Every structure is written in structure tokens, then in C-alpha cells.
């Protein structure tokens, strides 16, 4: 396949359109700004051999319908004419930024947020009425148009059109995993690898994705975060933190609507876009005259937006999970004020010059250690931003939040607003589209937390040095622990109650007795269990597979196997705790092949051990034997 950047360059002519510049790219396609007869447009290139089915799908959707607040199609052609390799869609050019970038730049109020979502809801109402589903709703696929600020829904490459030939080859249509509904992830976990298994996307999935959009706009973070395996377990479990828990500025009514959209059960969600539009209109009506709805949702770069973090609390909470939460605690939006104009410093007379400890090297060293510990990219750029300058006015003592380029490989993960010009979501990738369209590192910096010690007033230095040194040491210690999780002190998990109804489900519905009985034991395995060698594990959510049918022993004679309590291929979701000598697993949900999700209360163990499985590794990395025994319990001890 030819590389688009080679034959298509600024100034070249393709199909009668003059190419001006690239707007965005995915794994196999690219979007260019172009012009014809003086009018701008966007040319979307899709490779016919590899992604042609998806390209034709998008073409059919946009040719068959014209929706309000949806990007319009102006034409299409194949290119090159002699031996076509690309389907080129000629689209309306939408100048502006993505929805998340708009929120990051403007720091909207709750009222402005709802006013922006309402037209998007109207658009989906019309789309769904035509039987069309977008199937890839996310922040990158909603543009805020200049100059009127209207939201425009783009990229129907993964869309569904009734009676159109199927294009999905995987269990799920391509989309970002963060926007997947619990029922779709549950289906994926049950049916992955099964030939012909296809999830039927519905309006309820679309409403869930809208809930994720609203959650990010209101709080600055995604509802669930973490590596892919942990993220899937968290989504299926559906244990969601309220938007108001993350951001107290979110009005209660808006918080309630967001939780309604993100309900774990599809039937508990807002049923459709029409109902959502009515709810948004009612919010605006009820909020008339309420000044709380006009307050910016996040902290800004003004004097009243300063936030001071008390770092001593990191001393006993320096885990990667805590650090992620701390970083996202107070997202800052809006654009920072420009630095004050440079002034030529007036040099004092030689007789008045006093010797002061050099602050530049100390500040640079502290910033370097913190940034290295947090695993952030672009240390050179960051130190350039953090180093004091003679032209910069002294600032009050405190801990400052600074902008920093996004880094998807860092501990913090990509921020929701770490985006660029509109990209082609690569629908040919299984499971999710985003990894193939990661923003380049040269994009506009996004706000990421960096701890920085501000310039200190020399008159305060003697008085403050003790507490300042303590705070700096605690911050460095926390950052070091984040970078090296292997050296953390491993502790046994605390006692915990079983999920609601779990004991009754196991004993009454499934017929499993509580406690360990050799004939009533179930077995599960970790991924890569076939090698029969210890596998690496880490603290956090887990997904195990039941190893064969779990039967209820029928008593004597022993040849009576008894009924099946849980069938083979049941997916088990829970959490691992890495102790000093043992790994402890607590299973709280079972997804059976029929699709039902049951609350359970199981622990993993090894024969001859009361609870837990021994760590089989001399290194800092914990490893366990991949096949474990399951035991029913009435409480996690």
C-alpha cells in the first residue's frame, strides 16, 4: 500500500481538488484540507483493499441521509484514476477543535456544557430515527465549529446502516474501549474467539457512550481508567464514582442525568436521544437564574483558581493507583496567562550583593526527580518550563499545576483532551480504534499535573525551610515509589463483605455449599495457562476463565457427578491482592455463556493452603501457577 504522505503533498491536485495540508490520520487513512473553486473541503482517503468495506459503509450512510449537526458529504471518487487504490470521500470542512479540546480551552460552565450537548442529542435523535447507529461516539468525533460554536458529529466509518452488507469481522465493531457499554464488554469476554460471534450494537450502547462524553466534560477524567484488562473488568462491574465525588462543581441534576446515562443495566438508562433532549432542555429551564450553573466547572488559571496540595498525605498512600487519582483530583482548564513582559533586572551595587543559596539547581533537580518518578515524557521541555528565569516575576510559595505535552506511555495515561486535528478512526483494528490513531507528540500541550516548587521569598526562607524540605522529600519519595512499584511493601488484603446477594445466589440458585469440600471445588485459570508455568500477576482487577464445568457433588455413589452449577467458559471477574508471600484473589462476578451476570463470593487458593496461592518467583515480579482452586465463602477475610 503506498504511503499517503508521499503522493499527496500540499500543492498537489487530486481529483480536481488542490491539497492544502493534512488534518489527521489513522492507521490506513488520512484526511486532508483541500480546496476547489476557492471553497474549502476535507478529503478522506480510505484504502480500498484493506478498509474499503468501511469506506463504502460511511459513503452509503451519508449519501442516504442528511442530518442536522452531522458533517455532510459533497461527493466521492476513486484515486488514482488509472489504478484506483483509495476511496476518497469529499466532506464538508469543519473548522474548529474537538469537543474535549473545546472544554479544555474554554473551561465551560455546566450551562454551557448542556447547551453544547443539546444539539448533539438532536443530531443523534435524527440519526437513530433513520435506523442508523454511529457506533464510535467519542470526544474526537465531535467537532466544535468556528465561528458559531455548533457541535458537529463526524466519522461514520464504524456506523451501522440497515440492510447494508456486514463489514464487522470481530466480535465488536471498532470503537474506543473507554466508551464501551458493560453489556458489550461482557459479550466480548464471553464470546471472544468464538467463530461468527457478533455483538448487536443498540441505541442503549450509544446512550452509554454519551454518558462517558458527559462524564469527561463534567469532571475532566474518564469514568473508568487503567490498562485494557483492568478497564474491561471495571466497566463490567460498573462501580462508578459519581461526577460530584470527583468535582463538587457539577450540579446535582446534571450529575443525576450522567449517572442515568451510565447505568450498568441497559433498561435503567435514558432510553433514547429524544428522551435525553427533553431532559437537557428541562435542565436548562430549571437552571434559569441559578448562578451555580454559570461557574466554570474546573479550576482556571486565575488567582482564585490556585490549588494547594498537602503532600504529606502521600507518605502512606504512595501507590500508582493513588497517584493517578491525585493527579486527576483538580483538573485545570482554560489557557494560562502569558508570562509578564521581560524586564532588565537592575543590578545592585557590589557592596550590597548578598550570598544566597542557588535556587536554580535545586529547583531543576527537584523538578527532574519528580518528573522522572512520574514517568512523564519530555523532561527537557519540562525543565525548560520549570526553570526560573530572571524575567519571570517571583510567585507565591505553593505547588503549581503546569501544562505539559501528553504522553500515552506515562503512568497517568492519555488525558481526555490530549487530541489534535480530526483523525481517521481506523475501523479495521479489532476491539478499539484509538490506538492506531494516537496523537503525535508535537501536538498542542494538554494540562497534566507536574509538581513544582515556586520561587521563594528570601525573607521566608529560614522560617520555611524545614516544612519545605519535608514536603519535597515526601513528594520525591512518592514519585520514586510510583516509578518502582516492585519495592512497595506488600500487605495482606483487609476483610471485606461479599457483594449483595452473592451468598444467596451461590447457595440457593447454584446449589453450591459454602466452604471447601474437595468434591465441590471449582477450578479457574489465568491467561497463558496452557504452558503450565508460573505467570506474572499484578495488584488490581482480574479476569479468569472457569476450567471446565463446576458441578455440585451428588453424594454417593461417587460416579454421580451432580448438576452443573457454573458451566465451562464462565468468565470470573474480581481483584488480585499481592501479599508478602501469597497472592490473594477475590471473585465477585461470574458471567456465564448465556449472558447472565451473577454476583458471587469466591476466593482463589491452592490445595493445602487456607487461602491464597503462593508467589513462585524470587524476583520483585510476582508469579503464580496459572491454575487455581475456587472456594465459596460468606465473607472475604
**CA 63 to CA 70: how far, in whole Å?**
12
Q: Say if residue 80 is preceded by a cis peptide, omega within 30 of 0.
A: yes
Under DSSP, the state recorded for 347 is P
Backbone dihedral angles phi then psi of residue 48, each to the nearest 5 degrees: -65, -40
Bridging pattern class, strands 96-98 and 73-79: unpaired
Please provide the size of the chain in residues.
637
**CA 564 to CA 182: how far, in whole Å?**
26
Burial per residue of 214-239, b for 16 or more beta-carbon CB atoms within 10 angstroms, e otherwise: bbbbbbbbbbbbbeeebbbbbbbbbe
**CA 582 to CA 573: how far, in whole Å?**
19
Burial per residue of 158-172, b for 16 or more beta-carbon CB atoms within 10 angstroms, e otherwise: bbbbeeeeebbeebb
Q: Angle formed by the axes of helices 273-286 and 203-219, to 10°?
A: 30
Q: How many CB atoms lie within 10 A of CB 98?
A: 24
Backbone dihedral angles phi then psi of residue 202, each to the nearest 5 degrees: -135, 175
CB-based burial of residue 303 (10 Å sphere; 0-12 exposed, 13-18 middle, 19+ buried)? Answer: exposed
Asked if residue 575 lies in contact with residue 229, where contact means CB atoms within 8 angstroms, the answer is: no
**CA 181 to CA 187: how far, in whole Å?**
10
Burial per residue of 242-281, b for 16 or more beta-carbon CB atoms within 10 angstroms, e otherwise: bbbebbebbbebbbbbbbbbbbbebeebbebbbebbebbe
**CA 283 to CA 110: how far, in whole Å?**
10
Secondary structure of 107-121 as H, E, C letters: CCEHHHHHHHHHHHH
**CA 215 to CA 417: how far, in whole Å?**
13
Q: Say if residue 557 is preceded by a cis peptide, omega within 30 of 0.
A: yes
Q: How many CB atoms lie within 10 A of CB 107?
A: 21
**509 assigned binding-site residue:** no
Q: Which residues are annotated as a binding site for ATP?
A: 44
Q: Which residues are annotated as a binding site?
A: 44
Amino acid at each position: 500500500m503506498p504511503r499517503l504522505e508521499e503522493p499527496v503533498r500540499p500543492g498537489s491536485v487530486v481529483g480536481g481538488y488542490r491539497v492544502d495540508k493534512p488534518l489527521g490520520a489513522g492507521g490506513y487513512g488520512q484526511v486532508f484540507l483541500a480546496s476547489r473553486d476557492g471553497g474549502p473541503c476535507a478529503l478522506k482517503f480510505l484504502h480500498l483493499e484493506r478498509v474499503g468495506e468501511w469506506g463504502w459503509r460511511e459513503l452509503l450512510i451519508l449519501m442516504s441521509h442528511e442530518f442536522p449537526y452531522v458533517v455532510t458529504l459533497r461527493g466521492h471518487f476513486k484515486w488514482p484514476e488509472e489504478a484506483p487504490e483509495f476511496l476518497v470521500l469529499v466532506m464538508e470542512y469543519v473548522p474548529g477543535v474537538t469537543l474535549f479540546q473545546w472544554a479544555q480551552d474554554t473551561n465551560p460552565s455546566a450551562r454551557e456544557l448542556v447547551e453544547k450537548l443539546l444539539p448533539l442529542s438532536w443530531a443523534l435523535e435524527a440519526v437513530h430515527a433513520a435506523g442508523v447507529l454511529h457506533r464510535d461516539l467519542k470526544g474526537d468525533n465531535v467537532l466544535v465549529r468556528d465561528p458559531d460554536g455548533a457541535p458537529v458529529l463526524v466519522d461514520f466509518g464504524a456506523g451501522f446502516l440497515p440492510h447494508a452488507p456486514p463489514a464487522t469481522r470481530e466480535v465488536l465493531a471498532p470503537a474506543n474501549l473507554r466508551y464501551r457499554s458493560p453489556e458489550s464488554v461482557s459479550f466480548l469476554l464471553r464470546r471472544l474467539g468464538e467463530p461468527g460471534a457478533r455483538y448487536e450494537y443498540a441505541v442503549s450502547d450509544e446512550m452509554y457512550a454519551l454518558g462517558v462524553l458527559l462524564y469527561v466534560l463534567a469532571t475532566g477524567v474518564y469514568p473508568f481508567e487503567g490498562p485494557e484488562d483492568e478497564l474491561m473488568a471495571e466497566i463490567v462491574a460498573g462501580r462508578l464514582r459519581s461526577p460530584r465525588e470527583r468535582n463538587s462543581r457539577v450540579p446535582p441534576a446534571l450529575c443525576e442525568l450522567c449517572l442515568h446515562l451510565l447505568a450498568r443495566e441497559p433498561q435503567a438508562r435514558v432510553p433514547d436521544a429524544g428522551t435525553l433532549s427533553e431532559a437537557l432542555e428541562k435542565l436548562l429551564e430549571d437552571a434559569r437564574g441559578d448562578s451555580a450553573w454559570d461557574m466554570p466547572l474546573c479550576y482556571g488559571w486565575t488567582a482564585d483558581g490556585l490549588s494547594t496540595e498537602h503532600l504529606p498525605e502521600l507518605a502512606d498512600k504512595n501507590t500508582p493507583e493513588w497517584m493517578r487519582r491525585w493527579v486527576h483530583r483538580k483538573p485545570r482548564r482554560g489557557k494560562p496567562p502569558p508570562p509578564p513582559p521581560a524586564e532588565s533586572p537592575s543590578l545592585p551595587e557590589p557592596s550590597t550583593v548578598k550570598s544566597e543559596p542557588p535556587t536554580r539547581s535545586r529547583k531543576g533537580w527537584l523538578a527532574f526527580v519528580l518528573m522522572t518518578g512520574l514517568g512523564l515524557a519530555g523532561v527537557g521541555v519540562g525543565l525548560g518550563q520549570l526553570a526560573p528565569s530572571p524575567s519571570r516575576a517571583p510567585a507565591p510559595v505553593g505547588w503549581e499545576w503546569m501544562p505539559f505535552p501528553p504522553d500515552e506511555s506515562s503512568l497517568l495515561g492519555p488525558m481526555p483532551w490530549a487530541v489534535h486535528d480530526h483523525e481517521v478512526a481506523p475501523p479495521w483494528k479489532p476491539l478499539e480504534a484509538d490506538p492506531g490513531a494516537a496523537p503525535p507528540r508535537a501536538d498542542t500541550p494538554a494540562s497534566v499535573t507536574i509538581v513544582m516548587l515556586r520561587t521563594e521569598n528570601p525573607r521566608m526562607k529560614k522560617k520555611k525551610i524545614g516544612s519545605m524540605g519535608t514536603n519535597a522529600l515526601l513528594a520525591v519519595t512518592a514519585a520514586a515509589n510510583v516509578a518502582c512499584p516492585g519495592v512497595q511493601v506488600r500487605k495482606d488484603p483487609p476483610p471485606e463483605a461479599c457483594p449483595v446477594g452473592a451468598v444467596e445466589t451461590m447457595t440457593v440458585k447454584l446449589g453450591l455449599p459454602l466452604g471447601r469440600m474437595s468434591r465441590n471445588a471449582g477450578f479457574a485459570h489465568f491467561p497463558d495457562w496452557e504452558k503450565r508455568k508460573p505467570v506474572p500477576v499484578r495488584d488490581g482487577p482480574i479476569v479468569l476463565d472457569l476450567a471446565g464445568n463446576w458441578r455440585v457433588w451428588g453424594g454417593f455413589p461417587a460416579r454421580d457427578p451432580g448438576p452443573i452449577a457454573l458451566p465451562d467458559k464462565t468468565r470470573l471477574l474480581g481483584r488480585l491482592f499481592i501479599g508478602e508471600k501469597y497472592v490473594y484473589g477475590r471473585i465477585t462476578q461470574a458471567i456465564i455463556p448465556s449472558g447472565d451476570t451473577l454476583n458471587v463470593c469466591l476466593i482463589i487458593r491452592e490445595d493445602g493452603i487456607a487461602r491464597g496461592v503462593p508467589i513462585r518467583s524470587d524476583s520483585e515480579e510476582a508469579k503464580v501457577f496459572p491454575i487455581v482452586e475456587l472456594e465459596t465463602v460468606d465473607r472475604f477475610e
